[in-house]
Structure 1
Amino acid sequence: MPRLAVLMSPERADDVIDADTRALLDQHFEVVWAEDRHSAGPAQPGKPPALDPAAVAELAAGAEVLLTSWGTPRLGKELWAEGQGPKVIAHAAGTVKNLVDPEVLQAGVGVFTAGPRIAWSVGEYCLGAMLTLARRLPRFDAAVRGGGWKQTAYRGHELRGAKVGIVGASSTARALIAMLAPYECDLAVYDPYLQDERAAELGVRTTTLDDVAAAPFLSIHVPNVPETKGMITRELIENLPDGAVVVNSSRGPAVDQAALLEHALRGRIYAALDVYDPEPPSFAEHVLQSGNLLLTPHIAGDTAEGHLALAGYVLRDAIRWLADGTRGPSFVDPATWSIAA
């Protein structure tokens, strides 16, 4: 059987590999597991330890497949010296841009990412945030906790039939689009790479960024690349309709954060922020107390079920690719590297 090296700490392995996937590993591979001695240090609260970079060469020796995740050190090109090295990298996490150089993909190594599986968790977060803020639930919650009752100045709104602006047609956006189907929304998408045929398949219409940002619901799904930095400008935020709900689960630098907070603190719009610029943020007390803000610590893609499914998601595709070259949904296409998250 081919050898597979698990390039992650035992604690991270417990986080992303469920029992069924462990059985799949034993069925298809000779598995080399990292041990506690391979970790870079003790675990921090809520965060498994990373793998010691010095352990990579030892664990990966002779392996055809590398199973990686958060805490895996960047894989140097020396692993593929003289045309040798692993045939597959199965990444049980999101982006692979901090893990390998694009030359590795171009050399024929099959790279797989669990980003599309994480996208479902992010889509649920975005839908939940939209509904939470549309119904003004944080304000009503604070009122009851403070001894109050109904707030006549605030009445929630329905998502059904509303225009939803979506910036970027990434995997997280596509997950949200699928979840919005029962709400019969007008889904307006801005993504210069989204072709009309694909938009029709998704059930959305393509339009300008100005049109998308004029929607009463705005959800941002763009990668962290130079072209997206600051793309949601102060001008676009100023043109949002009163009462608009903005959800950013992608990258903090994509949005003019100061302008967004300014309009939310004035009570003009509502915003759910899971990402910030910088991270973690340092907000004044009046910002933290605002009923127009829903603030979460970069956890949109972090669910118990989602994490345990990550290794299995990429491994099943990797096994098919090794067998017959099938490119499953987790395959990383070298042709789209530059615009990938």
Structure 2
Amino acid sequence: MPRLAALFTPERAADVVDPQTRRLLDDRFEVVWAGPEHAAGAASPGRPPALDPQAVPSLAAGADVLLTSWGTPRLGEELWADGNGPRVVAHAAGSVKNLIDPVILGQGVAVFSAGPRIAWSVGEYCLAAMLTLARRLPRFDHAIRHGGWKQSGFRGHELTGAKVGIIGASSTARALISLLTPFGCDLAVYDPYLTAERANQLGVRRTSLADALQSPFVTIHVPNVPETQGMISRRLIGQLPDDAILINSSRGPAIDQQALLDHVLTGRLYAALDVYDPEPPSFDVSVLGAPNLLVTPHIAGDTAEGHLALAGYVLADVLRWLDDGARGPSFVDPAAWSIAA
């Protein structure tokens, strides 16, 4: 029976491993669980403790599979130094770029990430933000709370049939595209790596960055790589249509944050921000009081159901890979490492 080491604390295990997955783990593996004694420190509000890096070598010794998540220390090359290291790393979280060195991919180690499962939660967040801002719900909510009623001469807008500019065709973008299907939107996607064939499969049209930004709804789905840092510049923000809604749930450095806020504070644009540069942000009262701005603390992919499904999501693909070498949706393709989130 293959050996699996769960390299996260019991608190994190309770967050990402549901009871059904625990039973499956026990059926298919000899499982080594980290205990409270392996934590690096105490938990903080809303954040389970991390695993002590010094506990990793002993927990991982002899393991065929490493199950990881948030709070797992970076896995050093020394785990594979003798040529008999784990064959699989299954990450019950998102990006693996801060978890492993890509050199291990060249050594035949299969890596899996639950990023595509998190993407669905992010897609729901983006759809919710679009509808909330399109219907101007924060403004109407504010009016009621302060003794008002209907806003004379002021109406919200519909998403149905609207043009939506999607920057990046990542897994979060693809989840949103699926959710937008019933709305019959004109989905204009800018992504230099999106092929015509793939665009046709997704039911979208490829376009330029400038055209995508000429939309009443714009949503950003790019990784944090040198090519995307600052890609939505002050100049481009100035070219967005009046009353456009911009949503950033990807990475803060992708956009000139101050330029966007400048336009938000004039009332010209609406925005929903879940990511910032830096994090956490420090906004003054004028920003925090803007009725055309939604701010959330990097939680677009954070749902109760989504988190609890993460270990099961990657484990299903790991078992298929171990059984017959199949690459499921959570497989991390070494060829796409440079453009991955």
After TM superposition, the score normalised by the length of structure 2 is 0.99
Deviation at 1:154, TM superposition (A): 2.5
Deviation at 1:181, TM superposition (A): 0.2
Distance in 2 between residues matched to 1:152 and 1:106, nearest whole Å: 63
Correspondence list, 1:77-226, <5 A: 77-226=77-226
**Residue matched to 1:13:** 13
Residues 187 and 205 in structure 1, CA contact (< 8 A), matched pair in contact too: yes
Residues 214 and 239 in structure 1, CA contact (< 8 A), matched pair in contact too: yes
**Residue matched to 2:61:** 61
Deviation at 1:153, TM superposition (A): 4.2
Q: Deviations over 1:149-170 (max 9, x none)?
A: 1112431000000000000000
Distance in 2 between residues matched to 1:152 and 1:112, nearest whole Å: 53
Residues 136 and 154 in structure 1, CA contact (< 8 A), matched pair in contact too: no
Letter of the 2:185 partner, please give it: C
**Residue matched to 1:28:** 28
Correspondence list, 1:194-273, <5 A: 194-273=194-273
- Alignment pair present for 1:298 and 2:298: yes
Distance in 1 between residues matched to 2:173 and 2:23, nearest whole Å: 32
Distance in 2 between residues matched to 1:21 and 1:279, nearest whole Å: 33
Letter of the 2:53 partner, please give it: P
**Residue matched to 1:317:** 317
Equivalent position SS for 1:272: strand
Q: Deviations over 1:19-41 (max 9, x none)?
A: 11001101100000000000000
Distance in 1 between residues matched to 2:121 and 2:200, nearest whole Å: 24
Distance in 2 between residues matched to 1:311 and 1:74, nearest whole Å: 18
Equivalent position SS for 2:328: coil
- Number of matched pairs: 341
Letter of the 1:114 partner, please give it: A
What stretches of structure 2 of length at least 5 have no aligned partner? none
Distance in 2 between residues matched to 1:267 and 1:219, nearest whole Å: 19
**Residue matched to 2:279:** 279
Equivalent position SS for 1:290: coil
- Alignment pair present for 1:47 and 2:47: yes
Deviation at 1:323, TM superposition (A): 1.0
Deviation at 1:84, TM superposition (A): 1.2
Equivalent position SS for 1:93: coil
Letter of the 1:338 partner, please give it: S
**Residue matched to 1:340:** 340
Q: Deviations over 1:173-193 (max 9, x none)?
A: 000000000000000000000
Deviation at 1:81, TM superposition (A): 0.8
What stretches of structure 1 of length at least 5 have no aligned partner? none
Distance in 2 between residues matched to 1:245 and 1:132, nearest whole Å: 10
Distance in 2 between residues matched to 1:154 and 1:143, nearest whole Å: 12
Residues 90 and 318 in structure 1, CA contact (< 8 A), matched pair in contact too: yes
Distance in 2 between residues matched to 1:145 and 1:326, nearest whole Å: 55
Distance in 1 between residues matched to 2:121 and 2:148, nearest whole Å: 34
Distance in 2 between residues matched to 1:24 and 1:266, nearest whole Å: 55
After TM superposition, the score normalised by the length of structure 1 is 0.99
Distance in 1 between residues matched to 2:154 and 2:315, nearest whole Å: 49
Q: Deviations over 1:101-160 (max 9, x none)?
A: 111111110100000000000000000000000000001101100111111243100000
Q: Deviations over 1:288-319 (max 9, x none)?
A: 01001000000000000000000000011001
Identity %: 74
Identify which range, 78-87 or 162-171, moves more after superposition. 78-87
Deviation at 1:82, TM superposition (A): 2.5
Letter of the 2:337 partner, please give it: W
Distance in 1 between residues matched to 2:125 and 2:103, nearest whole Å: 34
Letter of the 2:95 partner, please give it: T
Equivalent position SS for 1:83: coil
Letter of the 1:301 partner, please give it: G
Distance in 1 between residues matched to 2:154 and 2:123, nearest whole Å: 27
